[in-house]
Structure 1
Amino acid sequence: MPLKWVLHWQPNAGTTVNSQILNEVTQCVESINGAKEGRWKATLTYYKPMLRVADQSLAAELPRDFLGISLPEQPDKYFFIVRGQKIVLEADSSIQTIMEKLQSYKSRVALYFEGFQYQLGDFQLRVGKVVPTHSENLRGIVMEVEYLPLSSIEKSRQVMEEFIDIWQEAISKRSLPGQFMHIEPNFTEYGLADQYTSQHTAVQYATVMAQLIATQSAQAGRN
C-alpha cells in the first residue's frame, strides 16, 4: 500500500490548538490546489485491564494499557498497539465486540480523528481534528500525507521530505502559532519491514497520541 506519514500540530509555547488554526490549515491545502475528495475518520481507544480481586497477581504480567485503532482504509480490521512492549497486532474488526463481552479490558477514553481528504498530484492529504467521543473539545490537529506511487519507506523518504518542506513554507506564510511535526517511530522495534502497511499507520497514530498527551501535560504544568 502507499506510504504514509502522520504529522501532528505542535503549538508554540504558551499557545493551544483551536478551530481557527484548523480552518487556516484547511484553507492552506486548498490554496496549493488540493482537490477536496470528501470526509475521513479514524478512531483511537485506550484500553486498561479489568482485574478482579483473584487476578491481582497477574497485574505485573498484563499491559498496563494499550491502544486500539480503526482506520478508514481498512474498515474490516482493528489494530492493537502495546507501546511498552513494542507490539502491533492486526485483528478482525469483530474483536471489539468480543472484548466487550469478555470484559477483560475496558475502554478508558476514545478519540476521533476526523476531517477532509484532498488529492494533490501524487499525494493524498487528510487534515483533521482530534476530539474525544461525545465532545467537540479540540485536543489536537493531525495531517496524513500519503505518497501514492511508492510503498518503500526508504525510497520515498526524500520526496516526502521535499513535499513537507514545501508544505511548511506554505503554512509559515500564515504566521500560525506552531507547526506540523513528523516523528518517525522505529518501525523495526515493532517487527515491521520497509514495505509500508496499515500496521505502520497504527504505530504512527500511537506515537502521535503520545506526543499530543505530552504537549498537553506540559501546557498544564505551565498553567
Structure 2
Amino acid sequence: MPLKWLLHWQPNAGASVNSQILTEVSQCADSMNGVKEGRWKSTLTFYRPVIRVQDQALTSELPRDFLGLSMHDQPNKYYFIIRAQRLVLEADLSIQSIMEKLQSYKTRVALNFEGIQYRLGDFQLRVGKVAPINSESLRGIVLEVEYLPISSLEKGRQIMAEFLEIWQEAVSKRSLPGHFMHMETNFADYGLSDHYSSQHTAVQYAIVMAQLIASAQLRS
C-alpha cells in the first residue's frame, strides 16, 4: 500500500478554523496543477463502554474508550484503535452491526473527514474538513498526502518531507492564520512494520483526532 502522511491544520494562537481557510487550502492544490479526482470521506467514531450493573466487576478489564474508523479506500473494512494499549485491529465492516446488537459500547461522537481528492504526478492529495456527522460545524481541516510509488516508511520519508516543504510554501503565500502539522509517529509501538498498511493510516487518524481535541480545548 502506498505511503501516506496525515496532517492537520494548527491555527495560530487566538485563531480558529473556518471554511475560508479550507477554500484557500484547496486552491493551493489547484495552483499546483492538481487534477481533481472526485470526493472522499472517512468516518472516525469515538466509543465508550456501556457499563451495566451486572458488569461492573469487569469494568477494569474493558477498554475505557476506543476509536473506530471506516476509510474511503477500504470500504469493506473497519479499524479499531485503542491508544492506551497501543492496539490497532482490522475487522470486516459487518462488525459495526454486531456491536450495535451487543450494545456493549455506545457512540460518544462521530466525525466525518471529507473533501476533494487531487492527483499531482506521483502524489495524491486529499484536502478535507472535519465535522460531526449530520452537522456542518467545522472542527478541523486535514490533509492526506499519499506517495504512490513507495510503501516503505523509511525510504519515502525524505521525498514526503520535500513535497511537504513545497506545499507549505504554497500555503504560506496566502498568509493564513495557521499551518499544517505532521505528527511523527512511532508505529513500532503498535507492532507495525516499515511496510505501510491501512493500520498505519488508522493510527494516524487516532493521533490527529487527539490533536484536534487538544487544540479545541486550548482555544476554548
Superposed pair shares fold, TM > 0.5: yes
Distance in 2 (alpha carbons) for counterparts of 1:184 and 1:99 = 32
Structure-1 residue corresponding to 2:37: 37
Structure-1 residue corresponding to 2:55: 55
Q: How many Å apart are 1:165 and its aligned residue?
A: 0.3
Q: Secondary structure at the match of 1:89?
A: strand
Give 1:162 deviation, angstroms. 0.2
Conservation of the 8 A alpha-carbon contact between 1:184 and 1:204: no
Contact 1:111 1:132 in 2 (8 A): yes
In 2: Cα distance, 1:55 partner to 1:218 partner = 36
Quote how far apart the aligned CAs of 1:184 are: 2.2
Q: Distance in 2 between matches of 1:184 and 1:147?
A: 17
Q: Distance in 2 between matches of 1:187 and 1:58?
A: 30
Structure 2 CA distance for aligned equivalents of residues 11 and 4 of structure 1? 23
Q: Could you tell me which amino acid in structure 1 is paired with residue 196 of structure 2? A: Y
Match of 2:86 in 1: 86
Cα distance between partner residues in 1 of 2:141 and 2:167 = 15
Distance (Å, rounded) in 1 between the aligned partners of 2:82 and 2:24 = 34
The AA in structure 2 aligned to 1:157 is R
- Please give the per-residue CA displacement for 1:156-194, whole angstroms capped at 9, x wherever unaligned: 000000000000000000000000000022100000000
Distance 1:212 1:193 in 2: 26
Instruction: Please give the residue correspondences for 1:194-213 in structure 2 after superposition, counting only pairs within 5 Å.
Output: 194-213=194-213
Give the CA RMSD over aligned residues: 0.5
What's 1:191 paired with? 191
For 1:74 and 1:111, the matched residues in 2 are separated by: 17
Per the alignment, residue 26 of structure 1 pairs with 26
What is the identity percentage for the equivalent residue pairs of Structure 1 and Structure 2? 72
Say if 1:8 and 1:181, in contact at 8 Å, map to a contact too: yes
**Structure 2: runs of 5+ lacking an equivalent:** none
Q: State TM-score, norm by structure 2.
A: 0.99
Query: What is the CA–CA distance in structure 1 between the aligned matches of 2:98 and 2:29, rounded to whole Å?
Result: 40
Cα distance, 1:57 vs. partner? 1.6
Aligned residue type for 1:118:
Y
Partner residue, 1:172: 172
Letter in 2 for 1:62: L
- Superposed, 1:1-223 pairs within 5 Å as 1-220=1-220
User: What is the letter of the counterpart of residue 200 of structure 2?
Assistant: H
**Alpha-carbon contact 1:9-1:141 (below 8 Å) kept:** yes
1:143-166 per-position Cα deviation (integer Å, ceiling 9, x unaligned) = 000000000000000000000000
Letter in 2 for 1:75: P
Q: Deviations over 1:26-83 (max 9, x none)?
A: 0011001111010000000001111100111211221110000000111000000000
Q: How far apart in 2 are the matches of 1:32 and 1:138?
A: 25
Q: Which runs of 5+ in 1 are unaligned?
A: none
Number of positions where the alignment pairs a residue of Structure 1 with one of Structure 2: 220
String of CA shifts for 1:105-137, please: whole Å, max 9, x gaps: 111110000000000000000000000011000
Q: Could you tell me how far apart the structure 2 residues matched to 1:44 and 1:139 are?
A: 13
Paired residue secondary structure (1:217):
helix
Q: Secondary structure at the match of 1:60?
A: helix
